[in-house]
Amino acid sequence: DAGVIQSPRHEVTEMGQEVTLRCKPISGHDYLFWYRQTMMRGLELLIYFNNNVPIDDSGMPEDRFSAKMPNASFSTLKIQPSEPRDSAVYFCASSLLALGNTEAFFGQGTRLTVV
Amino acid sequence: AQKVTQAQTEISVVEKEDVTLDCVYETRDTTYYLFWYKQPPSGELVFLIRRNSFDEQNEISGRYSWNFQKSTSSFNFTITASQVVDSAVYFCALSYLGGATNKLIFGTGTLLAVQP
């Protein structure tokens, strides 16, 4: 298996623009997670899905952020409009079962820079 | 509250030295899970180990070993005979299933620099 695939790897955009990050989880995994990594806040969970259904989005910073999982093999994280403080590395991860019964596997991340 | 503390921000060792990375966790749940992840300079997060709260057996995998002690709420990670390729940021994480949530709570990470 190719692992969790994220695209793009790097994204530079201007403030106010819409940004869409993409993720393909490992085939057969029922859980998908979006994390954000910043120097100030470290690694924090934004949202996770179970069988394509959003379960916990309490980490989504504000309404400018939205995430979808239209099918088992694809998820998007959208920021509209983007702001410089959204600059971070965004990780997608997937797991076969609930965490604890298994581990989460992470993609290589998307480094987002908003100027 | 659920929390993971990695008090060591940075550690620098010389190749072949042994090094221990500390992890202290807080949770009120009796069932929880602990993880270690490695983030090399290339940026990806690599899974190293998962341990559940009912299994206090220490584990060894090659040069890596983990010491889980519930009495002190610690899950420490030791690298024996460190190598330059071990240079990375290492994260300890906690997961719990209480409250119908399912998330990894990460510590702030320890940057390990192994000098040749």
Nearest CA in chain A to B38: A106
Residue B98: predicted pLDDT: 61
Where b means 16+ CB within 10 Å and e means fewer, B12-23 reads: ebeeeeebebbb
Residues of A in contact with B96 (CB under 8 A): 100
Alpha helix ranges (H) inside A5-114: none
Which residue does chain A place closest to B39, by CA atoms? A108
What pLDDT score was predicted for residue B55? 85
Please give the average per-residue pLDDT across A99-104, as a whole number.
81
C-alpha distances out from residue A19 to A4, A43, B19, Å: 20, 20, 41
Q: What is the mean pLDDT of each run of 10 residues along chain B (116 residues)?
A: 93 97 93 93 93 86 93 96 97 78 87 97
**Amino acid A53: pLDDT:** 95
Nearest CA-CA distance, residue B47 and chain A, Å: 7
Alpha-carbon distance A57 to A78, whole Å? 13
Q: State residue B1's pLDDT score.
A: 78
Q: What's the pLDDT at B61?
A: 87
Q: What is the pLDDT of residue A1?
A: 63
pLDDT tens sequence across A39-96: 999 999 999 999 999 998 999 988 999 999 999 999 999 999 999 999 999 999 999 9
